[in-house]
Amino acid sequence: MSFGKLLVANRGEIAVRIFRACRELGIRTVAVYSEADEGSMHRRMADEAYPIGPAPASESYLNIERLVEVILESGAEAVHPGYGFLAESAAFARAVREAGAVWVGPPPEAMEAMALKVRAKEIARRAGVPTVPGYDGEDASEERLAAEARRIGYPVLIKASAGGGGRGMRAVARPQDFLEAVRAARREALSAFGDGSVFLEKFIEHPRHIEVQVIGDEHGKVLHLFERECSIQRRHQKVIEEAPSPALEPELREEICSAAVRLAREAGYRNAGTVEFLLDGEAFYFLEMNARLQVEHPVTEMVTGTDLVQLQLAVAAGEPLPLSQEALSFRGHAIEARIYAEGEGGLPAGGRLLLFAPPEGPGIRNDVGVESGDQVPVHYDPMISKLIVFAPTRRMAVRRLRRALEDYTVLGVPTNLPLLRRIAENAAFEAGETTTDFLERHRLAEPPVEIPVPEEAVMLAAAGELASCGRGDDPFAAGPWRHLGSVRLRYRTGDSWHRVEAERLGGRRFRLVQGGEEAEVEVLAFRNGELHATVDGRPVRAGIALEDGAVRVSLGGTVYELFRPRPPEVDEAGGAAAEAAGLVAPMPGTVVKVVAEEGQRVEEGQPLLVLEAMKMEQPVTAPHAGVVRSLPYKEGDLVPGGAVLAEIERED
């Protein structure tokens, strides 16, 4: 038995990943999408797609009633919830079953048992699995909690029983701060999870996060697929995950993995799930069980050669697991990096992706939820894609990760790629010295003071402008070169100005001079925002987005934004003489008319030329009275964005 049609009650990369598995199995796919996701990749990919409501998740992806309508309307025989949203909702699992469809996940009873961390810990104890020392008893009065905290010994961690996604946790270092922290934690838990109950755990310092992938079928078989290490976290949310853990020797691995299987059996668990532990030296403690597919499941797939989504579907269809514990093994090393649409500091960001070009090559897997041109909505989790690298050894996997991150180009929306690169380059990471406080310990979470814009980025921005402004076989025949020996470009970043003088050497080669540095740049190709060039013979690749008013350059993975001064804004820092004001093209365009001449005296506000850009005519006027010293462009000329259009010398 298998399914003819499956609905994914989710969005983004996980919906895309599940649809791909379905296509390989010949299962028809049904997408649901909110108003914010009308143009989204997961919607485009599915055989059928249904709108489910406004952008806020509470009115769409969390709307059980509407989802059930779509299940009935589409005739979907099974529902996969992905992760997040309703993945851990037993109520949704039941509603799916009542609608006559199969729930691709554990039985609702097992989900309920795991939904509250306190109950999950009870099950762990029954299964003989060690839990973090703490207090999760009935009496949750402030007096009792304070007394228990003293008994456990500081520092302690106050946790929301219904917590998840790294939220609802508070570490307390000193007894005098305890009561206030409990009250705040309760308030937070109530507003975030609708359940204010909290419990205590000993705060373990510098642990590793180790988790075990398990899967069970309807025929009593429960297997593990070894561990993942997810110690590199920001605010208790995973950032980098890998398999296997660099910290486990075979004996300890066997102990942890069999503990996870015992716990899953005790809970009557079926389908895929993850048992999370903290590892403190050789001691391990159960944290919680996630009754769903995990974000980081691909690293397990890479090292075990399995497809967890396909296994989930088989098990949900009642088939016996086509695996045995003895036959399962792992090979090589896999590392996943989560790509978040966020600014430095971790604030979620949205917008249109001008360019989204993930890396390619052997041992590289990209699980993506977006493509170039897509809109990233701000309403949902900011993770847009995952990069997974695979290599025979951890050392090679780290090198591959570095290379892949360098080649990852995202323009238009800020991402955490700079943070991921700082982690990948870190020596302690390379050595496998990873603990949950890794980012703080190595001060990687803080953005670097200010990244100066490398001269190469400015030159490549200029090369992109120049290469984009011609047409046809010889892009420069119709460009600004037609009349000019050289072109001058100007950009601003923060308080500094960058000036580039470009001289065409023939073909697509030019000499660029910037801040005294000189380089010969040859543009090899510039398509879909990707510029391939040589700089003094050395090949470079950059992502270049030419926008209204700015050029964004992605170089070696870092994105630099170069602003073009707007006319009639005066480049006050212009030239050797502050007297000479340069007027700069805000975007590429065509000169439709030149109304002044070199040497002419002009009044402030007098028109000099008319530029057509973005289908609009823009008069360029004199910012002050003076003599037109240069007016390099003629009617019909194409001008690159950032080009100096005129210079007016003030008169004394």
Residues in touch with ligand ADP (CB under 6 A)? 83-84, 132, 157, 163-166, 169, 201, 203-204, 207, 209, 233, 236-238, 276, 278, 287-288, 290, 294-296, 381, 383, 436
Stretch that binds Mg ion, among 269-277, 326-334, 567-575, 612-620 (CB under 5 A): 269-277
Q: Which residue is nearest to Mg ion (CB)?
A: 276
x-or-dash string of contact with Mg ion, 224-263, rule CB under 5 A: ----------------------------------------
CB 295, min distance to Mg ion, A: 11
> Which of ligand ADP, Mg ion, none lies near 204, with the C-beta cut-off 5 to 8 A by kind?
ligand ADP
DSSP string for residues in 425-460: H-HHHHTT---TTHHHHTT-SSPPS-PPPPHHHHHH
Helix axes 12-25, 308-316, angle to 10 degrees: 70
318-321 long-range contacts (CB < 8 A, ≥24 apart) are: 318/1, 318/218, 319/1, 319/217, 320/217, 320/218, 320/219, 320/221, 321/215, 321/216, 321/217, 321/219, 321/221, 321/223
Stretch that binds Mg ion, among 187-195, 271-279, 347-355, 442-450 (CB under 5 A): 271-279
CB 84, min distance to ligand ADP, A: 3
Query: Of residues 170, 270, 292, 394, which has the active-site annotation?
Result: 292
The nearer residue to ligand ADP, 163 or 359, going by C-beta atoms, is: 163
* Cα–Cα dist 451/361, whole Å: 29
The nearer residue to ligand ADP, 195 or 520, going by C-beta atoms, is: 195
Q: 180's torsion region: left (phi>0), alpha (psi -120 to 50) or beta?
A: alpha
CB 440, min distance to ligand ADP, A: 11
> Which of ligand ADP, Mg ion, none lies near 601, with the C-beta cut-off 5 to 8 A by kind?
none
The nearer residue to ligand ADP, 229 or 465, going by C-beta atoms, is: 229
User: CA dist 310 to 17, 43, 119, 297, 581, Å?
Assistant: 11, 21, 30, 12, 65
The nearer residue to Mg ion, 160 or 376, going by C-beta atoms, is: 160
606-610 long-range contacts (CB < 8 A, ≥24 apart) are: 608/583, 608/645, 608/646, 609/633, 609/645, 609/646
**Do 624 and 575 contact (CB within 8 A), yes or no?**
no
The nearer residue to ligand ADP, 231 or 304, going by C-beta atoms, is: 231
With CB under 5 A as the rule, give the number of residues binding Mg ion: 1
The nearer residue to Mg ion, 426 or 435, going by C-beta atoms, is: 435
Q: Which residue is nearest to ligand ADP (CB)?
A: 164
CB 623, min distance to Mg ion, A: 59
* Cα–Cα dist 5/26, whole Å: 9
> Which of ligand ADP, Mg ion, none lies near 409, with the C-beta cut-off 5 to 8 A by kind?
none
**Do 209 and 296 contact (CB within 8 A), yes or no?**
no
> Which of ligand ADP, Mg ion, none lies near 90, with the C-beta cut-off 5 to 8 A by kind?
none
x-or-dash string of contact with Mg ion, 550-569, rule CB under 5 A: --------------------
User: CA dist 239 to 206, 386, 387, 505, Å?
Assistant: 17, 10, 11, 47
Stretch that binds Mg ion, among 19-27, 40-48, 268-276, 294-302 (CB under 5 A): 268-276
Q: Which segments of 432-564 does DSSP mark as H helices, in order?
A: 438-441, 455-468
CB 135, min distance to ligand ADP, A: 12
Examine the residue annotation and report whether 541 is marked as an active-site residue of this protein.
no
> Which of ligand ADP, Mg ion, none lies near 301, with the C-beta cut-off 5 to 8 A by kind?
none
> Which of ligand ADP, Mg ion, none lies near 608, with the C-beta cut-off 5 to 8 A by kind?
none
* Cα–Cα dist 5/317, whole Å: 12
The amino acid that residue 85 corresponds to is F
> Which of Mg ion, ligand ADP, none lies near 70, with the C-beta cut-off 5 to 8 A by kind?
none
Q: What is the separation of C-alpha 646 from the centre of its chain, rounded to a whole number of angstroms?
A: 42
**Do 553 and 533 contact (CB within 8 A), yes or no?**
no
CB 14, min distance to ligand ADP, A: 9
> Which of Mg ion, ligand ADP, none lies near 236, with the C-beta cut-off 5 to 8 A by kind?
ligand ADP
Tell which residue, 39, 46, 40, has the closest CA to residue 19: 46
The nearer residue to ligand ADP, 214 or 462, going by C-beta atoms, is: 214
Q: What is the separation of C-alpha 449 from the centre of its chain, rounded to a whole number of angstroms?
A: 22
CB 218, min distance to ligand ADP, A: 24
CB 236, min distance to Mg ion, A: 8
The nearer residue to ligand ADP, 238 or 422, going by C-beta atoms, is: 238
The nearer residue to ligand ADP, 211 or 637, going by C-beta atoms, is: 211
> Which of Mg ion, ligand ADP, none lies near 208, with the C-beta cut-off 5 to 8 A by kind?
none
DSSP string for residues in 9-35: ---HHHHHHHHHHHHHHT-EEEEEEEG
CB 276, min distance to Mg ion, A: 5
Residues 274-293 that bind Mg ion (CB under 5 A): 276
Kind and range of the H or E run holding 148: helix 142-152
User: CA dist 39 to 342, 370, 442, 528, Å?
Assistant: 21, 10, 40, 20
Question: Could you give the residue numbers annotated as active site?
Answer: 292
Instruction: Please report, as ranges, the residues that interact with Mg ion according to CB under 5 A.
Output: 276
